[in-house]
Chain A
């Protein structure tokens, strides 16, 4: 049962995001063959198992991803997207999959400072890149006014696309802390909200910019 005490949810949401970050595995607890689930003791043993038992299949690869400032060593199938790895290997559900082809922006993360569509990027190509997800933004006091204003202005309805919009907004504010209304709309134009909240984001971001310019943070 989920219980929500009205008015206390910024804190509880931040705590849940922090818990998700803390639970990210830094290395695989158990190494299993993705095809037959056989347990292996090392990546090398898994590679040998593949060569012997699944010679027609593409073998998993070992990668180290820097996600939210933490290095996570993973063994993944090379066809997995960054979105799939964030969810299935790291337990982070903030990047959402909607269109599955880079048209909607719901899966937006920030990679090396730029917004990136995690459903269109192979995780195996992200080694050495810095990846930020919404869970990290959720726990940073600096960005609480942004989240708070999104919630105050209902810049969401069902909420599914909202983390993607927030990541696009965060990437904009990282490089331009005082955007104009048009610059905001332009920066968010790669995102789609099917509930039709498009006109509401600029208001929320402008209010947040105003608060952040005053150095305001929110005690969650």
Chain B
């Protein structure tokens, strides 16, 4: 594997990388409204489509009479689930298989089921859907996971789901690391609605024997909803193309998924023309929605362009599933953890929900401990609560089970949780490594200083205004995507460096980071690189978030250095030429300032190709060579934190600190201070890095103080499946987030970068601070009524009790 300037690089001086306040490449387009997202596309003469949604939590369509719907003027088509047309399309390779493309069985309220209507307007589609005479078979549902555990509850999901891929075998990386799996070969067969998976390491009995005390506690992670801002939509139509055999499909809105659409419609990639690069906020949400997949089918059937656009309610997918953890820790009198047992009940969601996030037993904080006696028993329950796409940006993983454990040990022993964390944290290289972790120590030193950290036991401090003060602390490590194989191509053409990318533009400024890295390595300015957004380009920004960007950034760094080497070779070669040609004619060529020098004697800086020994001898970078030079590179950085096992390598760490004030009379919680001290290795693009920290705090605050997904226990339907009733923080709610960014350069991305941790997003840091204030646990969201109930000051709380 090439490593032209080393995994971390020896570069100390940065001209471009790390600079703040450089506008994004497409920021002006987004700000001015000219950026077009899927729902913004409309073409003349298009039809509209809408999909029937289930009004029940679990139901099967037995029969649909569409005669009345088809009789409505302007309604052009009704396609039922048993129409043979659905066999004309393959399943999207990203998204999982199901028994049939348009199912007759719905596994949650709002699920797409049974019929699609096509009409001249959306209003007519609505009218047609209402006119369908549908015979439903309402089926039993599970929204209470504890009830779903019972063997007396009949299975809500038939065996066909096992065969169609729901319980896929674990994915294995090239390094042999297993990830993203719910069902492992050694696990027992699924029983009823429950799959049980167990991972046991070390010697639990020995761990319990070493302990001086046993701590047992519950952590309830509730479900959090919907990260997609923009309604998912597409418009598609078919054309003839004189240059290509067969029909060409044009699709607008299914951004970044040309290959998937081509596979679904059994077309060569080149027969799919995709418009648009703006995907909206899709943070590790890789799939398309049905509205984006079926428009080509309907366009082929009707012979006209067809648009299908979800509403907000139809996009109300889960991004975190419920996890109810019962944790047992063995602890010595010094505070050292000797054994961990985590027995969790976890929502499996509806079929084909993501297997990432809440229940991958390899991704959690336990492996940052010196303690190697760890058993995890996950009971994963099929449910009808909701569908979860993969949403890594906000994933707290299983981190806060450990955060609370460390806090409880500190409370029990009357010690600072920072000290308990330090005592239990293994060294940088492995669980057997007993050294201190430099990155952790640096973060903690800054955090304690900036917080004026003065730990007190629960209920131990009252503010001058009478409210109770609470504080909490949490650490995380950064799980980089760096085991994935990334690809980048750069081209020097006409004196300009081109960077072709398909995007998509989805909210993390990845292309900007890559452009900065390429400019840094090539010795030119950010503005000198021409980014070509082209859906046919191989480069994609799907390595989302700052950790993915830094991993992919390493590949861009390599590619830029390959290009630089080729440019210098071409410049040196051309400088030796004494003549130039124009067609058959040959002209004498004046000597170049670079004449007589080899490529190794040349360098590029500040837009010049110059002689290292004599920088006054130079040519402008744009005139370095008349050749078109291409460099491409695919691979990943030499070290990969995920591939080496989550948590077992601690090269770059983040810490979060929170102070709250709790009013015992009103139950109100105010965040007084929220500080993130993050060792990101090396800052690539400071402004978006800080923005991502704001983003994870927004998520963390929302899920702990406001957001609650409420289902009716009687019917299983959503009671607040919209943005009015499902509360999110606004500009008046969000706290000021203090950020201290450290650069210890020990990550494995470009220049030793690693980015911030996915699990900087958390589910219990604020809740832990509330406990530190009032001495009782309040399950999130800690709304005033819940706080008062926990304090014994009101009989019942709001929400779904």
Contact = CB atoms under 8 A, between A and B. Distances in A.
A150 B27 CA distance: 8
A122 to B, nearest CB: 13
A195 B281 contact: yes
A12 B32 CA distance: 10
A14 B32 contact: yes
A27 interface: no
| Chain B contact residues: helix, strand, loop or mixed | loop
A116 to B, nearest CB: 16
Contact of B229 (A13, A153, A194): A194
Contact of A135 (B25, B32, B277, B723): B32
B125 to A, nearest CB: 13
B594 interface: no
B530 interface: yes
A5 B21 contact: no
B734 A198 contact: yes
A9 B28 contact: yes
Nearest to B309: A97
B560 interface: no
B34 A192 contact: no
B695 A159 contact: no
Interface in B91-124: 120-121, 123-124
A151 B27 contact: yes
Contacts of B36: 93
A167 B123 CA distance: 28
B26 A159 contact: yes
- B28, B312, B531: which has the most chain A beta carbons within 10 Å? B28
Contacts of A97: 39, 231
Contacts of A37: 120
B228 to A, nearest CB: 7
Given A99-B722, A158-B507, A189-B730, A94 B34 contact: yes
A44 interface: no
Contacts of B697: 196
- B29, B282, B313: which has the most chain A beta carbons within 10 Å? B29
B698 A135 contact: no
Interface stretch (B451-459, B606-614, B619-627, B686-694): B686-694
Nearest to B526: A6
Contacts of B33: 17, 92-96, 133-135, 138, 163
A94 B40 CA distance: 9
Interface in A115-166: 133-135, 137-138, 147-148, 150-154, 156-163, 166
A182 B496 CA distance: 46
A96 B227 CA distance: 16
Contact of B31 (A88, A156, A185, A194): A156
Contacts of A163: 30-33
Contacts of A213: none
B231 A98 contact: yes
Contacts of A197: 691, 694-695
Contact of B21 (A98, A153, A194): A153
A154 B533 contact: no
Contacts of B10: none
B56 interface: no
Contacts of B733: 198
B40 A166 contact: no
B511 to A, nearest CB: 9
B73 interface: yes
B281 A194 contact: yes
Contacts of B42: 87-88
Contacts of B688: 154, 157
A156 to B, nearest CB: 5
Given A17-B32, A189-B731, A103 B722 contact: yes
Interface string B40-82: 1010000000000000000000000000000001100000000
B734 to A, nearest CB: 4
Contacts of B73: 35-36, 53-54, 57
A12 B530 CA distance: 14
A193 B229 CA distance: 8
Interface residues of A, number: 80
A201 B732 CA distance: 12
B77 to A, nearest CB: 15
A154 B509 contact: yes
Contacts of B529: 6
Contacts of A195: 229, 281, 507, 695
B280 to A, nearest CB: 5
A189 B729 CA distance: 9
A104 interface: yes
A16 interface: yes
Interface string B269-281: 0000000011111
Contacts of B508: 157
Nearest to A79: B123
A145 B530 CA distance: 24
A125 to B, nearest CB: 17
B123 A157 contact: no
A188 interface: yes
Interface string A69-88: 00000000101000000011
Nearest to A20: B34
A159 B120 contact: no
A1 B275 CA distance: 8
A185 B731 contact: yes
B734 A199 contact: yes
Interface in A161-220: 161-163, 166, 184-186, 188-202
A172 to B, nearest CB: 12
Given A93-B33, A154-B24, A189-B730, A4 B533 contact: yes
- Shortest Cβ-Cβ A-B pairs, 9 listed: A94-B33, A159-B30, A196-B698, A158-B507, A138-B32, A196-B695, A7-B527, A151-B23, A158-B281
Interface of B: 21-37, 39-40, 42, 73-74, 120-121, 123-124, 226-231, 277-282, 311-313, 505-509, 515, 526-536, 687-688, 690-691, 694-699, 722-724, 728-737
11 contacts: A8-B527, A13-B34, A79-B123, A93-B33, A98-B230, A138-B32, A153-B21, A157-B691, A158-B507, A166-B31, A197-B694
Given A159-B30, A159-B35, 19 more contacts: A6-B25, A6-B515, A6-B528, A9-B23, A9-B26, A17-B34, A36-B73, A36-B74, A87-B42, A88-B42, A99-B722, A106-B229, A134-B33, A152-B21, A154-B509, A160-B30, A189-B730, A195-B507, A199-B736
